[in-house]
């Protein structure tokens, strides 16, 4: 996993909105996990799915009380991927106004009498997390659009379109989140070669087998030229990401090969993320 982002901060400072923006920017997001379960769940997600970016929302209820420290969790996550801590904050009067507007109780309301006391105590309780933040954003005066821009800049993405290349198997269903689906089932199938059946489209033997076929190369060229032509136009339309799904029968050979080949061709110009949906089914 290339990037793990822990999103936390003062309640009312915009964690939910931030996670929604991060999802639009291509992150897989999970909210309100108990801190002690974070390393185990992230490790499982990293093993089961080929995802590049994960954002986890943690609020004061997730962080207090815990038998594990934030430092222990960060050390465990660093063994899986690059870790950042995004700390959200806002001025006290802004937080008070937001709670008055939403009429929702503060997470510590059951322990303290006034909202102001809840806000100040929470800030003290979060200090150990704040000290470890690699990014801090003050949302006091930010609209959602400004928050999106700030996150894009801080995460180093700018406004560049994110291209998600997804391999899948038709026998497991067509992905509902795809913007474009390409059917590769008419191409030669390495599955019927006993020496290749247990391999995947990431293996050299399968890649050489498929690359030697003229029909495979013609199909690849057509898909690449389509993306080469239209991705700049999609980007000008202020889209933040586009999902291109490539499917074969089982999602192990042809579709995986095409995703890998397209990623290598496109990553010089675009921010590319790869998802092999059927990885758990690979023999």
Domain positions in the chain are 3-154, 162-281
Q: Is 62 annotated as a binding residue?
A: yes
Q: Are 169 and 252 in contact (CB under 8 A)?
A: yes
Q: Is 59 annotated as a binding residue?
A: yes
pLDDT, the chain, mean = 90
Q: Where in the chain does DSSP place strands (E)?
A: 3-9, 28-31, 53-57, 82-89, 135-138, 162-169, 180-183, 241-248, 271-276
Q: Is 150 annotated as a binding residue?
A: no
Share of the chain above pLDDT 90, in %: 56
Q: Is 10 annotated as a binding residue?
A: yes
CA 52, 179, 236: angle at the middle one, nearest 5? 85
Q: Is 15 annotated as a binding residue?
A: yes
Q: Which of 61-65, 116-120, 267-271 is predicted least confidently?
A: 61-65
Nearest Cα to Cα of residue 85 among 192, 154, 8, 167? 8
Confidence at residue 176, expressed as pLDDT on a 0 to 100 scale: 80
Q: Helix or strand or coil: residue 165?
A: strand
Q: Helix or strand or coil: residue 179?
A: coil
d(CA 276, CA 252): 8
Q: Categorize the per-residue pLDDT at 34 as very low, low, confident or very high, splitting at 50, 70 and 90.
A: confident
Confidence at residue 154, expressed as pLDDT on a 0 to 100 scale: 76
Tens digits of residue pLDDT in 180-222: 999 999 999 999 999 999 999 999 999 999 999 999 999 999 9
Q: Is 12 annotated as a binding residue?
A: yes
Does 145 score more than 90 pLDDT? no
Q: Is 41 annotated as a binding residue?
A: no
Q: For the chain, what is the largest distance between any 2 Cα atoms, rounded to a whole number of angstroms?
A: 74
Q: Is 167 annotated as a binding residue?
A: no
CATH number of 3-154: 3.40.50.300
Q: Categorize the per-residue pLDDT at 22 as very low, low, confident or very high, splitting at 50, 70 and 90.
A: very high
Please give the residue that has the higher pLDDT: either 244 or 153: 244
Cβ atoms within 10 Å, residue 168: 24
**β pairing state of 180-183 and 241-248:** parallel
Query: What phi and psi values does residue 116 have, to the nearest 5 degrees?
Result: -60, -40
Confidence at residue 66, expressed as pLDDT on a 0 to 100 scale: 63
Q: Are 55 and 7 in contact (CB under 8 A)?
A: yes
Q: Is 9 annotated as a binding residue?
A: yes
Q: Is 137 annotated as a binding residue?
A: no
Nearest Cα to Cα of residue 8 among 144, 131, 98? 131
Tens digits of residue pLDDT in 41-93: 898 888 777 678 899 999 888 876 666 788 899 999 999 888 989 999 989 99
Which H or E run contains 207? helix 204-211
Nearest Cα to Cα of residue 105 among 92, 90, 119, 125? 119
Q: Name 86's bridge partners.
A: 7, 135
Confidence at residue 223, expressed as pLDDT on a 0 to 100 scale: 98
Does 164 score more than 70 pLDDT? yes
């Amino acid at each position: 996993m290339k990037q793990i982002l822990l999103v936390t901060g003062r309640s009312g400072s915009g964690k939910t909105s931030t996670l929604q923006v991060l999802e639009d920017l291509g992150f897989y997001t999970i909210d309100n996990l108990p801190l002690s379960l974070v390393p185990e769940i992230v490790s499982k997600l990293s093993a089961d799915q080929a995802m590049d970016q994960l954002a986890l929302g943690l609020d004061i209820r997730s962080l207090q009380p815990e038998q594990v420290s934030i430092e222990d969790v960060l050390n465990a996550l660093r063994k899986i991927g690059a870790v950042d801590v995004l700390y959200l904050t806002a001025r006290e009067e802004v937080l008070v106004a937001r709670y008055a507007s939403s009429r929702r109780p503060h997470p510590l309301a059951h322990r303290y009498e006034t909202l102001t006391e809840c806000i100040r105590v929470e800030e003290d309780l979060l200090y150990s997390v704040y000290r470890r933040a690699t990014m801090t954003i003050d949302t006091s005066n930010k609209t959602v659009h400004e928050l999106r821009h700030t996150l894009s800049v801080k995460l180093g993405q700018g406004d560049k379109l994110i291209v998600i290349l997804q391999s899948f198997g038709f026998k497991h269903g067509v992905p509902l989140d795809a913007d474009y689906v390409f059917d590769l089932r008419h191409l030669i199938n390495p599955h019927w070669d006993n020496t290749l059946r247990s391999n995947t489209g990431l293996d050299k033997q399968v890649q050489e087998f498929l690359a030697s076929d003229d029909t495979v190369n013609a199909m690849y060229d057509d898909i690449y030229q389509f993306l080469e032509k239209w991705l700049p136009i999609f980007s000008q339309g202020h889209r933040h990401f586009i999902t291109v799904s490539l499917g074969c029968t089982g999602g192990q050979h042809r579709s995986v090969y095409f995703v890998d080949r397209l990623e290598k061709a496109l990553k010089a110009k675009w921010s590319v993320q790869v998802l092999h949906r059927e990885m758990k089914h690979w023999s």
